[in-house]
């Protein structure tokens, strides 16, 4: 992870790493639950086809089968999204943490509702028969006879583990250590080190390190100075020597 200049590198706390592993576990359970559901979707379609044959709801089996395929695709996308969020959370992306809370909350409600339906399904009374359509109790009895005995317990166990893991992952992301990790670092001022080098200032051409000062034009009547600071020498004399004008000849 790249931090702002002048700030110490951030270390990912253990609560964030554990939360990411739990999200990956939930994603793996989603894929496993998808495999289990697809292994029995054909039997469920056959049971519904036989139950609704010759009734006004004869096409309900095809609708249920299409719904199962759509649910499988959505579950696969959710599993991939959880893995991506886990990787982004490990990098300290606060936006991914917020997305994890939103998506995780929706998934938690759906998983909890499915578990509640599965646990209370056997205790609810059968629905009344509408016209020539079999009752829900009759449909449930036919499904239980056709599906393997391990199907319902495995579904409930996977759903319960996924629910607890998801809840723990969301709670870990809200702990104080996680808040410090996801908080955007601010660049701090570092005092100069004693004995260290200070930045050099640009100097005027021809000078060694001294700051340049502005030059002003000479006063009227002042002879121009040479590069060495001496006035210009007269013809035939030494530099800086002043010579009087010679008198005119014949005087």
pLDDT tens per residue across span 11-25: 899 999 999 999 999
* Phi and psi at residue 55, to the nearest 5°: -110, 175
Confidence of residue 229 (pLDDT cuts 50, 70, 90): low
Q: What does the buried/exposed string (b/e) look like for 135-161 if buried means 16 or more CB atoms within 10 Å of the residue's CB?
A: eeeebeebbeeeeeeebeeebeebbbe
* Alpha-carbon span 103 to 116, nearest angstrom: 20
Q: Is pLDDT of 81 > 90?
A: yes
Count Cβ atoms within 10 A of the Cβ of residue 21 and give its class: 0-12 exposed, 13-18 middle, 19 or more buried: middle
Measure the CA–CA gap between 183 and 210, rounded to whole angstroms: 46
pLDDT at 173: 94
Residue 72: CB atoms within 10 A of its CB come to: 16
**pLDDT tens digits for 177-202?**
999 999 876 655 555 555 555 555 55
Q: What angle do CA 233, 237, 241 make, to 5 degrees?
A: 60
Give the Cα separation of 15 and 97 in Å (integer): 13
Reported confidence tier of residue 115, pLDDT bands at 50, 70, 90: confident
Mean confidence (pLDDT) of the chain? 76
Q: Please check whether residue 162 is in contact with residue 75, taking contact to mean a CB–CB distance below 8 angstroms.
A: no
27-67 pLDDT tens trace: 999 999 999 888 888 888 888 888 877 777 777 788 888 88
């Amino acid at each position: 992870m790249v931090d702002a200049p002048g700030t110490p590198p951030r270390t990912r706390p253990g609560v964030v790493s554990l939360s990411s592993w739990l999200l990956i576990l939930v994603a793996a359970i989603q894929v496993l639950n998808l495999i289990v559901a697809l292994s029995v979707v054909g039997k469920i379609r056959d049971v519904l086809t036989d139950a609704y044959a010759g009734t006004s709801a004869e096409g309900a089996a095809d609708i249920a089968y299409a719904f199962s395929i759509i649910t499988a695709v959505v579950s696969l996308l959710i599993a991939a999204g959880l893995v991506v969020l886990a990787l982004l959370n490990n990098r300290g992306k606060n936006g991914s943490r917020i997305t994890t809370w939103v998506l995780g909350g929706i998934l938690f409600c759906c998983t909890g509702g499915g578990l509640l339906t599965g646990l209370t399904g056997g205790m609810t009374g059968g629905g009344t028969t509408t016209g020539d359509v079999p009752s829900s109790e009759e449909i449930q009895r036919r499904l239980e006879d056709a599906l393997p005995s391990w199907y319902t317990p495995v579904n409930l166990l996977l759903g319960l583990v996924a629910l607890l893991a998801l809840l723990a992952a969301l709670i870990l992301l809200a702990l104080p250590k996680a808040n410090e990790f996801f908080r955007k670092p601010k660049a701090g001022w570092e005092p100069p080190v004693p004995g260290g080098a200070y930045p050099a200032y640009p100097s005027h051409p021809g000078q060694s390190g001294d700051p340049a000062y502005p030059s002003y034009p000479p006063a009227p009547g002042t002879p121009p100075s040479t590069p060495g600071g001496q006035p210009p020498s007269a013809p035939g004399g030494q530099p800086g020597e002043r010579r009087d004008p010679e008198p005119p000849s014949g005087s």
